Amino acid sequence: MPKIDNSIMSNIDVFHFDDDKENFETFALQNGFRYWLASDLAAMLGYQDTDATKKAINKAMTVCMTLNIPVAENFAQIATDADKNDFKLSRFACYLTVMNGDVRNEKVAKAQAYFVGLAEAFQEHFQQSESVERVLIRGEVSEREKTLSATASQHGVINYPLFQNAGYRGMYNMNLGKLKSFKGLQDGSLLDFMGKEELAANLFRITQTESKIKKEGIKGQSNLERTAEGVGRDVRNTMIKISGTTPESLPLENDIKKVKKGIKVTHKELTKLDKK
């Protein structure tokens, strides 16, 4: 096993599993750079095979693509003797994969705590699982807004800001401008300051608005505005019914740009650690 910098690791509680002799660091391999096999990571997290971690790995790769972090340098697919695919994962790839795992799994929770502790050893820019998920969902919202805009245009929307505002009005009981003032945001896009729960709710609103327009063949600016507002209202009512929370009452988070910067810094520092 390649040696790790003891000055960095001395205060970190290394992620153990099953017995005290085996931990995350003992499974590191070296071939040009330090890496871990996805199959080994799956075993550390208590899974029988890599299928349970594939979803988390796919999400982790999406985060890299969103931030323009080279995927190939962190995730390398390889063929195994069993004619199955495995991955070589950099330490940063393991970090993102674990952060996208199911925290209800006790071993995933322990692994997340390990990586947060490791990232904290470098500087304050570490990002916990919710922050990583925020980046992923925020990217999805941007992509789905583009497709909704195209669909709305094809169906007769001429003034897109009015159509967009109708969706917010239905979901929040107020226009976008008033909503920003209500939440105390003076500058920037409101979406960049929403937490994971609020972003996910807006993603659902956007996708369902597009789906309804397509399925029902709704045409015309006014009709489409009413549709956007109606879907927004339905999402609002669902949130209230399930959690008793109105979307406007959800607190704002740190600017997503700072979160992205923090993940990039973590990538840089974890990469430097394994080059030593």
Task: Give pLDDT, residue 127.
Answer: 55
Of 107-121, 147-161, 217-231, 239-253, minimum mean pLDDT range: 107-121
Classify the phi-psi angles of 237: left when phi > 0, otherwise alpha if psi is within -120 to 50, otherwise beta. alpha
DSSP conformational letter for 192: G
Q: What pLDDT score does 110 carry?
A: 83
Name the more confident of 101 and 168.
168
pLDDT band at 276; cut points 50, 70, 90: low
Q: Which residue has the higher pLDDT, 11 or 218?
A: 218
Q: Per mean pLDDT, which range of 142-156, 207-221, 259-273 is the poorest?
A: 259-273
In this prediction, residue 197 carries a pLDDT of 94
Q: Interior CA angle at 106 toward 105 and 111, to 5°?
A: 100
Beta bridge partners of residue 35, listed in sequence order: 29
Q: Taking residues 106-120, what's their average pLDDT?
A: 78
Task: Give the pLDDT confidence score for residue 103 in this predicted structure.
Answer: 76
12-61: pLDDT as tens digits: 445 555 555 567 888 888 887 789 999 889 888 888 767 778 888 999 99
pLDDT digits (tens, 9 = 90+) for 166-188: 999 999 999 999 999 999 998 89
Q: Between the CA of residue 155 and those of 40, 82, 161, 204, what are the distances in Å? A: 50, 51, 15, 20
Q: How confident is the model at residue 144 (pLDDT cuts 50, 70, 90)?
A: very high
In the chain, what is the straight-line distance between the N-terminal and C-terminal CA atoms, in Å?
A: 13
Q: How confident is the model at residue 237 (pLDDT cuts 50, 70, 90)?
A: very high
> How far apart, in Å, are the Cα atoms of 223 and each of 158, 170, 211?
12, 14, 15
Name the amino acid, one letter, at 79.
A
Q: How far apart are CA 149 and CA 153, in angstroms?
A: 6
pTM attached to this predicted model: 0.77
Distance CA 6, CA 133 (A): 31
Q: Which two tokens stand for residue 182?
A: 């209500």
Residues 23 and 14: beta-carbon distance below 8 Å:
yes
